[in-house]
A = this chain, B = another copy of it.
Amino acid sequence: MSFDRLIEKIVEKQNPTVAGLDPKLGYIPEYIKSAAFEQYGKTLEGAAEALWQFNKGLIDSLCDIVPAVKPQAAYYEMYGWQGVRALERTISYAKEKGMFVITDAKRNDIGTTMQAYAAAHLGKTEIEGERVTAFGADALTVNGYLGTDGIAPVIEVAKAEDKGMFVLVKTSNPSSGELQNLELEGGETIYLHMGKLCERWGEELPGRYGYSGVGAVVGATYPEQLTELRLELPHTFFLVPGYGAQGGTADDIAGAFDKNGLGAIVNSSRGIMCAWQKSGCAEGDFAAAARDEALKMKKLLTDVTGEIKKD
């Protein structure tokens, strides 16, 4: 009921990277797409098959060096329920290969509706006494705008099923400050206020290594805020997007880590997925190119963290 399992995988692999699986068709080698479209036509089903084959290749190539994957729900929903089926297959396969799976879906709602999202993505769904897994990720990103009513149902499932969540605190995008940087009466920013709510919510999901099961999303593109939030939120593990394609560097995220090199996991999506396009290698080597890029990223990050230790 925390991020202990994630932390153990990070330490074991000595790699605080999560590989984002945001498989747009444009990122997928032609030979995978042709095979899928030949079988299913230029349909949602054909596209979903291509997504799944691409993901499978990436997972096979990354699973022994990268501790976690983060499929972004939007890129699957875009291909209809067929795409959502590819999401489910991707999650199952990554877990089978020992990876920690963070579904990046930024879900938010209240009461029984949020219970339904928590059951869908992290827990079990009850069908006439049977308990069935719908998606079964290890962690889910959520949006806290609705307050505790939107978080408590996820905490319940996280407790029961040993899962975690990441709450949006300071996002990586240029306009994130429009709302998040506004100052409340007394001078505290909204993002810091949200971060402190994470610390409070996290009290219900304490972890063995000092970090609770309620993490925070904090963008690599805002190094000052990363450093500020690391100090202010000692029990909150960070999911850090915005590295690479969005402009964040390894130095930018140095402040996200604690003295043991823990405290954050850094996402790379396009950097890893599209490495084959950038490197100009043969299409058939897309997975090897992803692995090379992931090893390069591991090196850059661990130059910053040093040896990653559990205590």
Contacts and interface: CB of A to CB of B under 8 A. Distances in A.
A47 interface: yes
A129 B132 CA distance: 38
A311 interface: no
A185 B112 CA distance: 34
A300 interface: no
A146 B134 contact: no
A194 interface: yes
Contacts of A44: 125, 127, 132, 134
A145 B143 contact: yes
Copies in the complex: 2
A184 interface: yes
Interface stretch (A57-65, A77-85, A289-297): A77-85
Contacts of A171: 110, 145-146
A39 interface: no
Contacts of A22: 113
A197 interface: yes
B134 A79 contact: yes
Interface string A117-151: 10111000111111010110000000111111110
Interface residues of A, number: 75
Given A113-B74, A134-B83, A176 B147 contact: yes
Nearest to A191: B145
17 contacts: A25-B127, A42-B129, A72-B109, A77-B134, A79-B134, A81-B85, A84-B84, A106-B108, A110-B172, A111-B173, A143-B145, A144-B145, A144-B179, A145-B145, A145-B168, A179-B197, A182-B193
Interface of A: 22, 24-25, 33, 37, 42-44, 46-47, 72, 74-75, 77-85, 87-88, 106-114, 116-117, 119-121, 125-130, 132, 134-135, 143-150, 168, 171-180, 182-185, 187, 190, 193-194, 197
- Please provide the 10 A-B residue pairs with the shortest distance between their CB atoms, ordered closest to farther: A147-B178, A147-B175, A74-B116, A81-B85, A80-B134, A77-B120, A110-B173, A149-B173, A81-B84, A149-B175
